[in-house]
């Protein structure tokens, strides 16, 4: 479902993308890490729609819910590369430690 939302966003179909985003944001999973995965899809949808602030907030939430942190793989993801010049995203993705 998340993949369809990202595809709709890339195809400039915001109504469809946001409907899928809403479903993903309201699904409750058995395991917390799965909720993080849903938030990652929502972040990708927001990034593809050009909403940098929302994408960054959702990605931060995905990290928190999945119990994970910065990964260079995320930095290279095509949807998140759209955020590379956005300062809050840069701060989030900066390696910690």
Tell me the pLDDT tens digit for each residue of 33-86.
677 788 889 999 999 999 999 999 999 988 887 766 555 566 677 888 899 999
Q: What is the pLDDT of residue 81?
A: 87
Cα distance between residue 35 and residue 29, in whole Å: 6
Q: How far apart are CA 45 and CA 55, in angstroms?
A: 8
| pLDDT (0 to 100) of residue 1 | 83
From 85, 5, 95, 72, select the one nearest 44 (Cα to Cα): 5
- The H-assigned helical ranges of 1-97 are 2-10, 14-26, 32-49, 52-66, 72-75, 78-81, 87-93
Taking the C-alpha atoms of residue 4 and residue 11, their distance in angstroms, rounded to an integer, is 10
In this prediction, residue 12 carries a pLDDT of 95
Kindly report the number of other CB atoms within 10 A of residue 93's CB atom. Answer: 20
The model's pTM is: 0.86
Amino acid 72: pLDDT? 53
Q: What is the pLDDT of residue 74?
A: 64
């Amino acid at each position: 479902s998340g993949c369809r939302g990202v595809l709709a966003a890339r195809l400039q179909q915001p109504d469809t993308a946001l409907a899928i985003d809403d479903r993903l944001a309201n699904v409750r999973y058995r395991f917390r890490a799965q909720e993080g995965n849903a938030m990652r899809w929502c972040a990708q949808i927001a990034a593809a729609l050009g909403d940098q602030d929302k994408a960054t907030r959702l990605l931060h939430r995905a990290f928190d819910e999945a119990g994970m942190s910065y990964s260079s793989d995320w930095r290279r993801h095509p949807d998140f590369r759209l955020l590379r010049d956005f300062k809050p995203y840069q701060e989030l993705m900066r390696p910690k430690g």
